[in-house]
Chains A and B, each alone.
Chain A
Amino acid sequence: MKLAKYTKFREEKFGGVLFETRSEKVYSLNASAAAIVREAVPGIGEDEIIERVTRRFSSPGNDIASEARLFLADLRQKGLLED
């Protein structure tokens, strides 16, 4: 999984932004969303992204793995990530 060809990611104090330059749409990301996208930037498998994110953010009562998987699916559906 990696950023789509026309997608750029930049980290910001509040988290980050994803910029889809073909449509010129900008998506603001909160801190945990940006952390997930950061893991995707080098181009690794979804399971590995989930594993890394879980290791960093998991806490009791927090199902970060499911949330991250949903989030990645949302980004893929928007054309911001591709396999």
Chain B
Amino acid sequence: MTPRASDQPGPETQASTAAATESADLRAPLYVAWQVTNECNLACLHCIEESGPGKAFRDELNDAEVFGVLEQLMDGDVPYLSFSGGEPMLHGKFFEMIEYVCGRGGQLKIETNGHYLTHENCARLAQLEVKAVQVSLDGASRETFNRMRVRGDFDCTIEGIKRLREAGVPVEINFSPTRFNMHEIGAAVDLANELGAYSFYTGKTMYTGNAVKTWKLLAPTDDQYSTFFATLHTKTDEYRGRMRVYFHEMGLLEELRYRLRHPAALLIVLPNGLVKLLNALPFVCGDFRRQPLSEIWANFRRGWEDPRVTSFVEDLAVDSGKTSGLHKWVYL
């Protein structure tokens, strides 16, 4: 048999992304995205998790449960995790959790709003060798950033990113577009590069969470999106070989239809241990409080074939507002 590295049968050597790698034949997920707490210091207009001050779930996993889940993930050979929130740096065991994952050879990304990136914390993140810290930077100016990230501060975030780079931590930037910040996309990509980021991520903002209440303020027009993506194509070429610019032009419906055919090898874990099929769907396929990873993984794969999931996605074609209820979980 000829040795081959490919995501397709045939002589070509090709790759897919973690989120695009199909789950069917894998013995465990390749990627676990864990929202470690719903508590947040900010109250962003677009937050899909409705996080904010005082918004921690009442039933979030306790410390013993958290480390029990981590142990299962590492024992199960899950190679890649991310910690997000809310604001993950507010979790009482944040650094201990990182220490455990990285100490067992897992690769870990932190997704943060960047407001707790002190010199000391950045040095610790570097020492623990996190794969990357992804910072949300929804604008290239104080005016737009502070409007979007209620209670947030642009300068504080920028200083935090600089400290990460000084400490030698790889940085990624995430940008959520709205009608009042998307004209800054070109400048935001330039700023990310200037700050030393190695990747820049963006895509369409979803109609869910806090965005349901603020949609009139946020929703970009089709023309705005056209200009936005045209700029991103230009920036992708401009920074090729220096910084990766990732963006998804697909709308939610198209993406969900694709996912139905090609479920990703990705579990979304909520602060209370529940596991969702996907952020953009209300369906829960497991509970780490009651089930082992192997059972959750099997449920996850079956879940994508559940007729309720198919119906939900197809109903979105006639009622795009259905995503407003993603936090009303449906147990599969």
Main secondary structure of the interface of A (DSSP, over half): mixed
Given the known inter-chain contacts A27-B7, A31-B1, please indicate yes or no for A22 contacting B79, CB distance below 8 A: no
Complex interface bits, A18-44 against B, C-beta within 8 A gives 1, otherwise 0: 111111111111111101100000000
Is B162 an interface position by the 8 A CB rule? no
Given the known inter-chain contacts A22-B131, A24-B19, please indicate yes or no for A17 contacting B2, CB distance below 8 A: no
A24 to B265, CA, bound (A): 12
B107 and A8 contact, CB distance less than 8 A: yes
Given the known inter-chain contacts A8-B80, A13-B27, A21-B80, please indicate yes or no for A36 contacting B17, CB distance below 8 A: no
A71 and B25 contact, CB distance less than 8 A: no
Contact of B5 among A12, A13, A24, A74 (CB under 8 A): A74
B18 and A30 contact, CB distance less than 8 A: no
A55 to B114, CA, bound (A): 52
Is A67 an interface position by the 8 A CB rule? yes
Given the known inter-chain contacts A25-B15, A31-B1, A74-B13, please indicate yes or no for A14 contacting B25, CB distance below 8 A: yes
Chain A residues touching B, range: 20 to 34
Point out the residues of chain A lying under 8 angstroms from B3, CB to CB: 29-30, 32-33, 35-36, 67-68, 71
B26 and A27 contact, CB distance less than 8 A: no
Is A75 an interface position by the 8 A CB rule? yes
Point out the residues of chain B lying under 8 angstroms from A20, CB to CB: 15
Instruction: State the Cβ distance, B247 to closest chain A Cβ, in Å.
Output: 14
Is B73 an interface position by the 8 A CB rule? no
Interface residues of B (CB under 8 A from A): 1-7, 13, 15-21, 25-28, 30-31, 77, 79-80, 105, 107, 109, 131-132, 170, 198, 244, 265
If A22-B170, A28-B6, A30-B4 are given as contacts, then 11 extra A-B residue pairs at C-beta distance below 8 Å, sorted by A number, are A19-B30, A19-B79, A22-B198, A23-B244, A25-B16, A26-B16, A26-B17, A31-B1, A32-B1, A71-B3, A78-B15
Shortest 8 CB-CB distances between A and B: which pairs? A8-B79, A33-B3, A25-B15, A27-B5, A71-B3, A26-B21, A21-B107, A32-B1
